[in-house]
Structure 1
Amino acid sequence: MAETEGEERSMRSPPRLKAILIDLNGTLHVGSKPTRGAVQALQKLRRSHVPLVFCSNSTKESTGSLLRGLRDMRFEVKDNELLTSLGACRALAEQRNLNPFLLMSPSAQEEFADIRRDDEYDSVILGLHPPSLSYEPFNKAFRILKREPISHSQSTSATSEGDQRTIPLIAPHASLFQQSQATDDLPEGLSLGIGPFVRALEVAAGVEAELVGKPTRRFFELGIERLQELYGDVQGDIGVVGDDVVNDLGDGARDIGLKRILVRTGKYRPGVEGDHDPDHVYDDFASFVDDLVR
């Protein structure tokens, strides 16, 4: 029987990597459940002293909440090993001294707790939280972007009528869909991601969102900088492993020469490799680690 293209890639010579950037949801775990053998695989990497940093595009909860969830699943993760796209949003807001309207969960809003000042919003930051993406809060975000009033005491939003600067729309990423666990209403499967909502605001408000998480080149550069802070100068190939060939392993990773490892868990579906051609494909994170560390 002929081998599939994915099988051919997984049977290539084992990756020779000096450090790894690791995706979380869909790769190490799906929802609150670790993928097969992932906890033990991470322990194996630790014993082999492989430099690693975790890179998450999750927008549902704060960095602190993510860390607690990982530890509840028995993953050993240090605070400074986790880089999140929400954290990158916060860093951008701090750098520009912004007072953002936060369209995200209460947990995710914890990331911005000490930089919010008042209701004179000068930017919008979007996260994936279904109640926040209902009409009223979504329309409020639209009004802020269009400089329309958002309260009866306000004639215009954020700044004076003469100020025509664009109100920034900032998003961690624009992933179109994600793998979701079963709920009372739906079985396990793909669900809408944040991307369609980002696009809706872009079209309606006539703005272009600033994306700060994966797959932007800058976010991967931040991951490498964090590796260097923790382990010193890393000489040799650095890999990135994830279940999303576009967002986890996309343009930014390719641009800076990362070795891209796709795992067939989470949102992976047969044939998604398409023209993206990851360097290696494995059934799951544990299979990748077994091939890397022998």
Structure 2
Amino acid sequence: MINGVLIDLEGVLYVGGYPLPGAREALLSLRAAGIPMRFVTNTTRLTRAAIVNRLELMGLDVSAHHLLTPVVVARQYLIDRQLTPHLLVHPDIVGEFADLIGPSPGAVLLGDAGLAFSYETLNRCFRLLLDGLPLLAMGSNRYFRDGNALSLDIGPFMAALQYAAEMEAVVLGKPSATFFHAALNNLDLPAQDVVMVGDDAEMDVHGALAAGLRGILVRTGKYRPGDEAKVESHGGRVFDDLDAVVDYIL
């Protein structure tokens, strides 16, 4: 039995600011069946409120309390460990950590900083890592779909810092078990009863399977032909879209 569903946003519910065909109806069907959902995303350029507002404009009803982002997980991680962050993140989310910033950083926090990525900002992080600070990364995605094209995500910049500083980052977004377990705690369900639905074979499906959840890949968003083999060989399933997934669940 599948008693809970985690749903990725970009590429599963919508693409390029437009809801995918059947996405709204699929959510309504799951709600009508009483199956709890949580919405998970690796985006680190937007606050949770901004994401909810964007979804509302597309006619997609998602509560902020049911939305989990790496920004939320990272903030809690810092608070739990009483760490002051040095931020290399997108300007739009700096305010989410404003009350945690201090004169003596205890960790480097890396997000998808967009145009804030530069030699200077990366080199500052590198020097702090050499001083012994841990590297916290809000994801490890290689790329994301930006309109009709693909753009570099946080992963390549994380890899550069890891290589230069000869260290491993603590990943706080997908595909880390920390992120998936935070979503499970929010659902209050065991991992084996929950399925993750995403368009990224590695970050969504492999990450979920490694954390003990079930995993489903949809052929939308950043899906690329041949991804089926990456998923099915690890016990995941593949469907054309979210509507087909809901038919399977129900």
Q: Do they fold alike, i.e. is TM over 0.5?
A: yes
The reply to whether residue 292 of structure 1 matches residue 249 of structure 2 is yes
Query: Residues 177-213 of structure 1, C-alpha deviation per residue, up to 9 Å, x if partnerless?
Result: 22220xxxxxx13222211100001111222111012
Note if contact 1:177-1:195 (Cα within 8 Å) is conserved in structure 2: yes
**1:169 corresponding residue in structure 2:** 135
CA distance in 1, matches of 2:139, 2:204: 10
Q: How does 1:118-133 map to 2 (within 5 A)?
A: 118=103, 120-133=104-117
Q: How does 1:66-77 map to 2 (within 5 A)?
A: 66-77=51-62
CA distance in 2, matches of 1:73, 1:80: 19
Q: How does 1:273-284 map to 2 (within 5 A)?
A: 273-277=228-232, 278-284=235-241
**1:137 corresponding residue in structure 2:** 121
Q: How does 1:28-43 map to 2 (within 5 A)?
A: 28-43=13-28
**1:7 corresponding residue in structure 2:** none
Note if contact 1:242-1:248 (Cα within 8 Å) is conserved in structure 2: yes
Equivalent residue in structure 1 for 2:209, among 241, 246, 254: 254
Identity score, percent: 38
Q: Which amino acid aligns with 1:246?
A: E
**Of Structure 1 and Structure 2, which has the larger fraction of its residues in helix?**
2
Q: Which amino acid aligns with 1:289?
A: V
Q: What SS does structure 2 have at the residue aligned with 1:215?
A: coil
CA distance in 1, matches of 2:17, 2:162: 32
Structure 1 runs of 4+ with >4 Å offset: 233-236
Note if contact 1:122-1:144 (Cα within 8 Å) is conserved in structure 2: no
Q: What SS does structure 2 have at the residue aligned with 1:80?
A: helix
The reply to whether residue 200 of structure 1 matches residue 200 of structure 2 is no
The reply to whether residue 221 of structure 1 matches residue 186 of structure 2 is no
Q: 1:113 to 1:64 in 2, by over 3 A?
A: farther
Larger Rg: 1
Note if contact 1:173-1:213 (Cα within 8 Å) is conserved in structure 2: yes
How far does residue 234 in structure 1 lie from its aligned partner after superposition?
Answer: 6.5
Q: 1:113 to 1:40 in 2, by over 3 A?
A: farther
How far does residue 256 in structure 1 lie from its aligned partner after superposition?
Answer: 4.1
Where does the alignment leave 5 or more consecutive residues of structure 1 unmatched? Answer: 1-15, 148-165, 182-187
Q: Which amino acid aligns with 2:140?
A: A
Question: What is the TM-score normalised by the length of structure 1?
Answer: 0.78
Paired positions, count: 248
Equivalent residue in structure 1 for 2:80, among 69, 87, 95: 95
CA distance in 1, matches of 2:191, 2:237: 21
Q: What SS does structure 2 have at the residue aligned with 1:249?
A: helix
CA distance in 2, matches of 1:34, 1:110: 29
CA distance in 1, matches of 2:51, 2:101: 21
Note if contact 1:18-1:236 (Cα within 8 Å) is conserved in structure 2: no
Q: What SS does structure 2 have at the residue aligned with 1:140?
A: helix
Q: 1:211 to 1:282 in 2, by over 3 A?
A: same
Higher relative contact order (CA 8 A, sep 6+): 1
Where does the alignment leave 5 or more consecutive residues of structure 2 unmatched? Answer: none
Question: What is the TM-score normalised by the length of structure 2?
Answer: 0.91
